[in-house]
Amino acid sequence: MLFLSISADDARTMMRDRLRAENDSTGTSPTIVLIPVNDRCAAAETAGGSHWSLLVYHATENEMLHCDSGSNHNAARAEELAHALFGSRVEHIAVSQQPNGYDCGAYLCAFVRVAMQWAAGSASGSARSLSAALAGAQIDAVEIRNTLERSILSHTER
């Protein structure tokens, strides 16, 4: 695992350079950038974090959306990352909430899927329409866990 300790200005420069390189190699700029957020704050901590959420950067509107299934547990961490990477403020979206203390990973996967489906279908859509898609996501964590298990098992049985 690699941890970088860099200034916010350097982080923003790295992100801009990466987005520019993507544009140069494909001729298009990404509409969204997906950033998983974990509540583990310090690289020196030996134990991992306990909660995952998702930041979605809408590149064309320079807006950052945060999807947190745990009552915005990661709100402060998401705001730190958004500011460091893009200098952006964060809109915390009212998304489906997990009913337990262990399905944040499944919800993160669901939010990623919704964002990717939105990007594939409405690449020129607004951040507001993306926010609405994420807020309206109906999430079945059991189905997501089962799908992930089947996928993992299919790769290990080869």
Distance of alpha carbon 67 from alpha carbon 145, whole angstroms:
19
Residue 51 is given by DSSP the state -
Annotated catalytic, 104? yes
Catalytic residue among 51, 66, 103, 109: 51
Catalytic residue among 58, 66, 103, 104: 104
Query: In Å, what is the CA distance from 79 to each residue of 49, 56, 100, 125?
Result: 17, 12, 24, 23
Q: What tokens appear for 3 in the block?
A: 């941890």
Annotated catalytic, 17? no
Annotated catalytic, 140? no
Distance of alpha carbon 11 from alpha carbon 16, whole angstroms:
9
Distance of alpha carbon 3 from alpha carbon 135, whole angstroms:
31
Catalytic residue among 58, 66, 67, 68: 68
Q: What tokens appear for 113 in the block?
A: 């899927």
DSSP 3-state of 54: strand
Catalytic residue positions?
51, 68, 104
